[in-house]
A and B are shown apart, each in its own frame.
Chain A
Amino acid sequence: MPEPVIASVGASALGRTDLPGRDLFSVALEEAFDELPDPADLVEAVYVGNQSESYEHQIMYGTLLAEWAGLRHVPAERVEGCAAAGALALRHAVKDVRNGEHEAVLACGVEKMTSAGTSGATDALSAAFDRAIEQRSGITAPSQYALLAKRYLHETNATEHDLAEIAVKNHANAARNPRAQFPKEIDVETVLESDPIAPPLKLYDCAPVGDGAAAVLVTTAELAADLGRPQVRVAGSGASANNIAVAERDMTDIAGARIAAETAYEEAGIDAAAVDIAEVHDAFTVCEALLAEAAGFAPAGTGYQSYQSPAERADGWTDVQLSPSGGLKARGHPIGATGLLQALEAYEQLTGAAGDRAIEGAETALLLNEGGVADAVTVGHVLTTAEAP
């Protein structure tokens, strides 16, 4: 079976931009193909992660972006799974290469979230929740995650101060990331004193609204070598859907994320302890705590210690470093592009291209990308430069 690798990555600016979605994609593509032949001479299929047509009144992003890349007459499609759309696109590309159907597939993602203001984004995101019961009760993304956070704080020793520390840690990481939407440090007081959004979550517990696009080229190892590109193996890929309604799930054991991570570990032939860095879906601070536990990095009830250095954490924690990019919180969260921005960070970390934020000696990364609230759908990938076990 051919081994899929990531051979190149690129991204647009993140945040409030003056470019529509297709143009954001063109910027990301230019970076990804800067040292490569034109896409038309390489790419055999395109998958586009995209959350919502409501931002630009545009579907058919597969067709549109393939055309804008100069790729006519290739299979191309939009992949939908709210904020997990990007990793789902990556997973499709990985499977196409793994099963021998294609040698080079473009996985990309785009979202133009700022087109309709905060209320437009709030409305678009609420479409990810069950319509019959949840939407009609006026639920929002922050309030969904607040329900998880309230329960997590109730069941564990974690406090709002701990959640604030997660935001502070991710902002500190973003301060060293030139791609970040918010490359600036903040303090705990700033988080704790920020506006209430859905208690216990405050403004600085929440990832921002922003525009962005990312492009990831998945190829066979042989093709990446022929192209002279640094390569990172996609050693494992897992995905799991769970109930649409968070009320019907276990709200502190994020089972879908656990299964997605375990599937990816199993394919890669590793366990959680082998993971050096992880980009997890910290759309809200509490997510990082919950996902650290689901990924097997932390014993149940101690995931909130993710902001502490490995030596300070509870017994049973691994030495993993979480969200070196700054995470969704501070790197940015342009919904359909997020899963691919996670892959971009891992690629740069594992190929020595992470500059000031490089985690020394990092060889293996876990990516966890969620869509809907928490594990409505989760996608996990193991990326590594280590030899296959």
Chain B
Amino acid sequence: MTDGDLDATDPRTLPGFFDALADGKLLGGVCTDCGQVLLPPRPACYACGSRAVDVEPQSREGTVFSYTEVHTPPPAFAADAPYTVAVVELADGGRLLGRVAADYSDVAIGDSVELTVHEPTAAEREVALDYETDWPVHIFEPR
């Protein structure tokens, strides 16, 4: 196994990934052996086991693969409920879960959405772990 020195600036770690996301860049891992997209990036490919993972910018546009509406939220998000959550298939092939800025009844499988990013709200900061405090939060906007 050969890896470069991973540190918190490397997008294959969560701090590195979220630093880039805060600047509006969605980075994915791309396996150079099998092409699998990994969101967020990580040192190894789950599809084939390879550790030859490049980090590449990913399109923020995608379509809804599945979705639901949370009526019984965890205590930290009680004030937001009900809210819509989806699994989105991005244009470059990766899939990512996130909230959707739309009512459940206005969403359908196949709808086009775009990933946007905001700084954590006061409520989100309150439930964040110390090291997560400045991590941005992503949300999908209908297009």
A→B interface (CB under 8 Å): 118-120, 122-123, 126, 132-140, 142-143, 146-151, 154, 195-201, 243, 245-248, 251
Q: Which of B4-12, B53-61, B93-101 contacts A (4 or more CB under 8 A)?
A: B93-101
**B66–A147 CB distance below 8 A:** yes
B51 to chain A, nearest CB (A): 17
The yes or no answer to B119 lying at the interface (CB within 8 A) is: no
**How many contacting A-B pairs (Cβ < 8 A)?**
108
Instruction: Knowing A148-B66, A154-B66 are in contact, say whether A136-B72 is a contact too (CB < 8 A).
Output: no
Interface residues on chain B, size class: 35 or more
In order of increasing CB-CB distance, the 10 nearest A-B pairs are A146-B68, A138-B77, A151-B66, A247-B97, A247-B87, A247-B95, A147-B66, A198-B68, A150-B66, A143-B70
Q: List 14 A-B contacts (CB under 8 A).
A: A119-B74, A122-B73, A132-B40, A133-B39, A136-B124, A138-B74, A143-B69, A147-B68, A147-B87, A147-B97, A151-B66, A198-B71, A199-B68, A248-B39
B27 to chain A, nearest CB (A): 13
**B67–A150 CB distance below 8 A:** yes
> Contacts A139-B97, A147-B85, A198-B68 given; 10 further ones with Cβ under 8 A?
A122-B72, A132-B18, A140-B70, A150-B68, A198-B69, A198-B72, A199-B104, A247-B95, A247-B97, A248-B94
Tell me the nearest residue of chain B to A152, going by C-beta.
B66
B→A interface (CB under 8 Å): 14, 18, 38-40, 46, 65-78, 80, 83, 85-88, 94-99, 104, 109, 124, 132, 135, 137-138
User: Per a CB cutoff under 8 Å, which of A126, A138, A195, A199 touches B83?
Assistant: A138
**A140–B74 CB distance below 8 A:** yes
Chain A residue numbers with a CB within 8 Å of B65 are: 151, 247, 251
A310 to chain B, nearest CB (A): 31
**A150–B137 CB distance below 8 A:** no
User: Per a CB cutoff under 8 Å, which of B72, B78, B98, B109 touches A133?
Assistant: B98
Tell me the nearest residue of chain B to A136, going by C-beta.
B137
Tell me the nearest residue of chain B to A244, going by C-beta.
B46
- A116 CA to B77 CA, complexed, in Å: 17
